Amino acid sequence: MENKYKHIMLDIETMGNSSYSSIVSIGAVKFDINTGDTGDEFYINIDLQSCIDLGLGISASTVMWWMEQSDEARKGLTSGNVVSITEALKMFAEFCDEDCEIWGNSARFDCGILGNAYNKAGIPIPWDFRNERCVRTLTSFAPDIKRNYPDNGVKHNALSDCYFQIGYCSTIWNSLRN
């Protein structure tokens, strides 16, 4: 029987926008693209110093951008369990199913930066590169759906962003199929 939740929506929050940026949180939700139904979720905050120690960078302009975000979004980066980047990568690898399709809001950003962190840490990337899917590409086929889709979550919270992206992606997916 096929796993209903073979898709994983991924969202990361970073301290830069280059390929080797420090990652401060990882959010992911298993979902069914056809229905928008969601399954297991993953969320972890990451110790920034552990990213720097691994050789991941920080951009001053991104730090300044974070200072302009909501208190709720900023506080979300330091609340709860905070682990090292290597521990977070291992935990996320356990969350991923072997044949999962992993969606990122630009495969080069979410999947690319996370993949580079795996490489730096010497940990195998837990998804097949052929299974990377791009939210932005799908959205380009029906941009009005995303533009008009209600976002009731915390902007720039990795887990909240995953649920928002799942909602409009499933709606776009179905509009294209019908």
Mean pLDDT of the 129-149 span: 96
Q: Does the global pTM surpass 0.85?
A: yes
The sheet with strand 38-46 has its strands ordered as 82-83, 38-46, 23-31, 7-14, 101-104, 132-134
The type of residue at 18 is: S
The two tokens of residue 166 are 């799942």
Q: Tens of pLDDT along 151-160?
A: 989 999 999 9
> CA neighbours within 13 Å on the CB side: how many for 144?
2
Q: Tens of pLDDT along 120-135?
A: 999 999 999 999 999 9
